[in-house]
Amino acid sequence: MAPLREIHVLTLFPDLFEGFLRESILGKAVEDGRVAIRLLDFRTFATDKHHSADDVPYGGGSGMVLLPGPAVAALESLPPGTRKVLLTPQGARFDHAAAVRLAGEPRLALFCGRYEGFDERIRAHVDEELSLGDFVLQGGEVAAMAIVEALVRLLPGVLHNADSPREESFAGGLLEYPQYTRPREFRGVEVPEILLSGHHEEIRRWRRREALRRTLERRPELLATAPLTGEDRELLGRWSGGAVERWSGGSGEAQPEAKRRASPPGGGRDAVSGRRTKDEERRTPSRVHVVLVHHPIKSRVGGLITTSVTNLDIHDIARASRTYGVRAYHLVTPIALQQELVRGVASHWLEGESGERVPARAEALSLVRVAESFFAVTESVRAEAGVEPLVVMTTAAAGGRPTVGYGALRQRLRSEKRPVLLVFGTGWGLADELLDRADVLLDPIEASSDYNHLSVRVAVGICLDRLFGDR
């Protein structure tokens, strides 16, 4: 297929693109004729005297909705063979693979939504829908700019270094390795010696190792689909600590099931069946539910906010929950797109081949639940158990409320028959309205320093170990 030669951007605000299309590599590509970018104001296709492109929604509601008439007329005016893309939060996630695919289309059109959305009937006149991610913008123009830049830099001759698109983050399935330039030493930090050695093969190996390390630390889910060599797998198995499967001998195959199930001496599991022994059953907090709340949450200045779900929180807290034997891990967010993110991450490991290849990760993700409110969590747990749960909340600052130490709570939980909700907040902590509903408020985690700003993933691990670790 011929490379992309023409991009049409359908927008109500073409002036927003004026500076963007003139600057840097993109401006040079347009000037050199490597790609033509045409702006089309679909308001000009309106047929009424006011040139209306939007109207109030049927059924009531706030905001305005884009009319189908001007939008469809503009789409139908495009040259034959143009692939038409609607930019909407409901679309598939735009990523490097999508960029490579669209860069192979000879003609492309990006339709920028605005206001509260667009008439549903416009969907029938596009070929696909794309989204930059789970956040809200004023309109699709910023998304269109991001997509245009991602596509144009992939075109032949646009970048002076032909290897650049192949070496950057995501191009090879991994995050990019660290980069350095002059000076050799900056504020006490020196450039790694290997990069000054002139040994090209050793530099290549160092960069590959650092790309693997960075991906493992920051975006481990990318490793499920990245093309890995035997050397890569050996390194990951050495570093992982459970972040990816422990590779057997660097072969790329997971360990046999019987070997994977076996535990170290004293681990409390039968080495053949993998089932918990009676001794382990007594220690396992099988009635405990870990709850991570994203709303209502305190902001830095004391207001109430909703925080974003992160992929690391989904994976790492699920793994900690499974390690300490809790019953379930609930993420609380009222945002539908964030709920779908959680379900999508879990289903990737539970329903696809990734779970078969990394069964330990699938086992952890099977604990994940999602709820729109803390009330919904308490109701579902109460309905399942037939009794109100004991609500244990955590905080970095008790605000004068009485708290309970870990030793006392640990002792209480040994005889507690009710289900237990162990609740953690994101942002700057749980809102007061939630803390006021706690049956037990745990002592804040304190260290020898006056610094108190742990990530919630670390806090969950510390709390679970203090309450349920072997002592």
Q: What is the pLDDT of residues 175-190, one digit of tens each?
A: 888 989 989 999 999 9
Instruction: Give CA separation, 306 vs 174, 221, 309, 429, in Å.
Output: 30, 25, 10, 11
148 and 289 within one domain: no
> In this predicted structure, what is the pLDDT of residue 240?
64
**Residue 219, φ and ψ in degrees, nearest 5:** -140, 65
Residue at 157 is within a domain: no
Assess if residue 436 is contained within a domain: yes
360 lies in some domain: yes
What is the structure's pLDDT at 79? 96
Q: In this predicted model, what pLDDT tens digit does every residue of 347-402 receive, in sequence order?
A: 888 887 777 788 899 999 999 999 999 999 998 898 888 889 999 999 988 778 89
Q: For the segment 455-471, what is each residue's pLDDT rounded down to a tens digit?
A: 999 999 999 999 998 76
The total domain count for the chain is 2
User: Which of the listed residues 131, 152, 173 is the one where a domain comes to its end?
Assistant: 152
Is 242 part of any domain? no
CATH code at position 81: 3.40.1280.10
pLDDT band per the 50, 70, 90 thresholds, residue 157: confident
**Percentage of the chain surpassing pLDDT 90?**
52
User: What is the per-residue pLDDT for 175?
Assistant: 87
Q: Find, among 236, 280, 272, 274, the residue nearest to 254 by Cα.
A: 236
> Would 354 be classed as within a structural domain?
yes
Evaluate whether residue 84 is within a structural domain. Answer: yes
Domain that holds residue 386: 285-468
- Predicted pLDDT at 121: 95
Q: Of 152, 169, 194, which marks where a domain is finished?
A: 152
* pLDDT > 70 in the chain, percent: 87
**Per-residue confidence (pLDDT) for residue 277, from 0 to 100:** 45
Rg (the chain; Cα; Å)? 27
Say how far apart CA 50 and CA 69 lie, in whole Å. Answer: 14
Structure tokens at 314: 């989904």
In-domain check, residue 172: no
Answer yes or no: is 323 within a domain.
Answer: yes
Last residue of a domain, one of 152, 187, 204: 152
